[in-house]
Amino acid sequence: MMMRKGVCISALGTAAMMAVVLLMAGSLDVAVKAQSVAPAAAEVKIDNFSFAPATLTVAVGTAVTWTNRDDIPHTVVSTDDPRAFKSKVLDTDEKFSYTFTKAGTFPYFCSVHPKMTGTVVVK
Amino acid sequence: MDRKTGNKNIVHDHNGDGIDRRGFLECMAWAGTGALCVMQGGVLKSFSMSRMGEFDAKKMAGELSFVQISDSHMGFNKPANPDVTGTLKAAVDKINGLATPPEFMLHTGDISHLSKPDEFDTVDQILKGASTKDVFFVPGEHDVLNDDGKQYLERYGKGTKGGGWYSFDKKGVHFIGLVNVLNLKAGGLGTLGHEQLEWMEDDVKHLKSSTPIVVFAHIPLWSVYPEWGWGTDDSSQALAYLKKFGSVTVLNGHIHQTMQKVEGNVTFHTAMSTAFPQPQPGSAPSPGPMKVPDDQLRKVLGITAVNYVRGQHALAVVDSTLG
Whether residues A93 and A48 fall in one domain: yes
pLDDT in tens, B173-213: 999 999 999 999 999 999 999 999 999 999 999 999 999 99
Whether residues A46 and A28 fall in one domain: no
CB contact under 8 A, B114 and A89: yes
Q: Is the pTM higher than 0.90?
A: no
Residues of B in contact with A91 (CB under 8 A): 114
Q: Which of B67-81, B143-157, B260-274 has the lowest mean pLDDT?
A: B260-274
Q: What is the DSSP letter of B114?
A: S
- Residue B300's SS3 state is coil
Among candidates B146, B185, B229 on the partner chain, residue whose Cβ is nearest the Cβ of A88:
B146
B171 contacts: CB under 8 Å, gap ≥ 6: B63, B64, B308, B310
Among candidates B113, B184, B288 on the partner chain, residue whose Cβ is nearest the Cβ of A49:
B288
Q: Check if B184 contacts A (Cβ < 8 Å).
A: yes
pLDDT band at B316 (very low <50, low <70, confident <90, very high): confident
Whether residues A64 and A114 fall in one domain: yes
Strand segments, DSSP code E, in B130-223 are: 135-137, 166-170, 173-177, 213-217
Whether residues A63 and A93 fall in one domain: yes
Count of structural domains within chain A: 2
CB contact under 8 A, A113 and B187: no
CA distance B307 to chain A (A): 33
Instruction: List the domain boundaries for chain B.
Output: 3-11+20-321
CATH code, A75: 2.60.40.420
pLDDT at B311: 59
Residues B181 and B219: their CA atoms lie apart, in Å, by 7
Q: Spell out, as residue ranges, where chain A has pLDDT lower than 70.
A: 1-39
Residues B125 and B134: their CA atoms lie apart, in Å, by 13
Residues of B in contact with A89 (CB under 8 A): 114-115, 145-146
Whether residues A59 and A32 fall in one domain: no
pLDDT at B315: 72
Whether residues A51 and A25 fall in one domain: no
Residue A20: give the domain boundaries.
1-36
pLDDT band at B264 (very low <50, low <70, confident <90, very high): confident
pLDDT in tens, B87-118: 999 999 999 999 888 999 999 999 999 999 99
* HEC assignment per residue over chain A: CHHHHHHHHHHHHHHHHHHHHHHHHHHHHHHHHHHHCCCCEEEEEEECCEEECCEEEECCCCEEEEEECCCCCECCEECCCCCCCECCCECCCCEEEEECCCCEEEEEECCCCCCCEEEEEEC
- Class for the domain spanning B3-11+20-321: alpha beta
